[in-house]
Copies of this chain bind each other. A is one copy, B any other.
Amino acid sequence: MYKLYDFLPSGNGYKVRLLLTQLQIPFELVELNILNKETRTSEFLQKNPNGKIPVLETAPEQFISESNAILYYLSQGTEYFPQEKYQQTQVMQWLFFEQYSHEPNLATPRYWISVLKQPDKYQEQIEQKQKLGYAALNVMEQYLQNHDFFVEDKYSIADIGLYAYTHVATEGGFDLTKFPAILAWFKRIESQPRYIKISDRPN
């Protein structure tokens, strides 16, 4: 059985939990507390030298890190990844947008405010990140004004990748009421078969 090394509040981990559940692939959740540096032990660094969760163990000693690479692996040959090359590339484009322009700016304010619970200590960095985060949200809002989903109007791993930190952005102090197209897209995602919440502990 697959083993997922993960930290429950992580949006990156949630991407993988959501797709595994939607694909009906059973897995064992191995929880590591990043606040206690449990991803920096020599044992874990053998699994991912970059010291980050999520890591998926798909076979003994076969580890995959980077949440969006795990989504790629799991979605090949399924309805969650398109078959045509240009559409596949659009999925990649949105997933790289997510890791470069989106996640670093949405996830860190949420981490400082809602996980560490130290908004005052990080106030200056939070403001810098939020400015860039709103720019990323504006790119998404503009696109979703004319599209149901990010690639070919069909739910794919591009949506899973972007949904993970967007739908909890309010926990990082973002005001999402200014983004009606994003809010409508949330509802379309939350009505997909076998949808689970970020806080749902897999069986």
A interface vs B, CB < 8 Å? 49-50, 52, 58, 62, 64-70, 72-73, 76, 85-86, 88-90, 92-93, 95-97, 99-101, 103-104, 136, 139, 142-143
Contact = CB atoms under 8 A, between A and B. Distances in A.
> Which has the most chain B C-beta neighbours within 10 Å: A66, A76, A90?
A66
A46 to B, nearest CB: 11
Nearest to A70: B89
A65 B90 CA distance: 9
> Which has the most chain B C-beta neighbours within 10 Å: A49, A93, A96?
A96
A70 B90 CA distance: 9
Contacts of A69: 89-90, 92-93, 95-96
Given A69-B92, A93-B66, A50 B86 contact: no
Given A65-B97, A104-B104, 6 more contacts: A49-B142, A64-B89, A66-B96, A68-B92, A73-B86, A95-B96
24 contacts: A49-B142, A49-B143, A50-B136, A58-B86, A62-B86, A64-B93, A66-B92, A66-B96, A66-B97, A66-B100, A67-B96, A68-B92, A69-B89, A69-B96, A70-B89, A73-B86, A73-B89, A73-B92, A76-B85, A76-B88, A95-B96, A96-B96, A96-B99, A100-B100
B73 A96 contact: no
A93 B65 contact: yes
B50 A101 contact: yes
Contacts of A95: 69, 96
A65 B49 CA distance: 29
Nearest to A71: B92
A70 to B, nearest CB: 8
